[in-house]
Amino acid sequence: MTPAEANLYIGRPWVAGARGPAAFDCWGLLKWVERLHFGVALPELPALPDERRDLYGEQMATGVWRLIPAPVHGCGALLRGGEQPHVGVYLAHDGGGVLHAQEGTGVIFTPGRNLKLMGYPRVCWYSFD
């Protein structure tokens, strides 16, 4: 994904359950960008929290998803700052940062150095094999 391609998403609105291309929620944006720009097909996210944990556990146990120690262009970002996890995609542009769809704001690019300031002090990076 080039900077020009990423910029096409900036400013699109956040809408719960939206899967693009006119609007996204955070999972919808990650799913869309991974498929279109990185050739990775992510599953739909179940509605219930227990089912989400089951999906996560299954993907991790089978090695389809795996934690990586440092971000690489196109990897998934799990951002945590409270009870609700938030996801985005890491892009190695402008020093690196996360493209994500944030409720109340829409699609934004947050430089890595600003994630804590945005309320995301804990970040995990994921490879989708």
Alpha carbons within 13 A on the beta-carbon side of 68: 16
User: 128 pLDDT exceeds 90?
Assistant: no
The confidence band for 61, taking pLDDT boundaries of 50, 70 and 90, is confident
Q: What is the pLDDT of residue 50?
A: 75
User: 52 pLDDT exceeds 80?
Assistant: no
Q: pLDDT, tens digit, for every residue of 84-116?
A: 789 999 999 989 999 999 999 999 999 999 999
Q: What is the pLDDT of residue 98?
A: 98
Enclosing domain of residue 14: 3-128
Q: What is the pLDDT of residue 84?
A: 77
- Strand order, beta sheet including 122-128: 65-68, 122-128, 76-80, 86-91, 97-102, 106-111
pTM above 0.75, yes or no: yes
Q: What is the pLDDT of residue 51?
A: 76
| Total tally of structural domains belonging to the chain | 1
The CATH number for 63's domain is 3.90.1720.10
From the list 13, 37, 17, 12, the residue with the least C-alpha distance to 89 is 37
From the list 82, 75, 80, the residue with the least C-alpha distance to 96 is 75
Q: pLDDT, tens digit, for every residue of 10-51?
A: 999 999 999 999 999 999 999 999 999 999 998 887 776 777
Please give the residue that has the higher pLDDT: either 81 or 17. Answer: 17
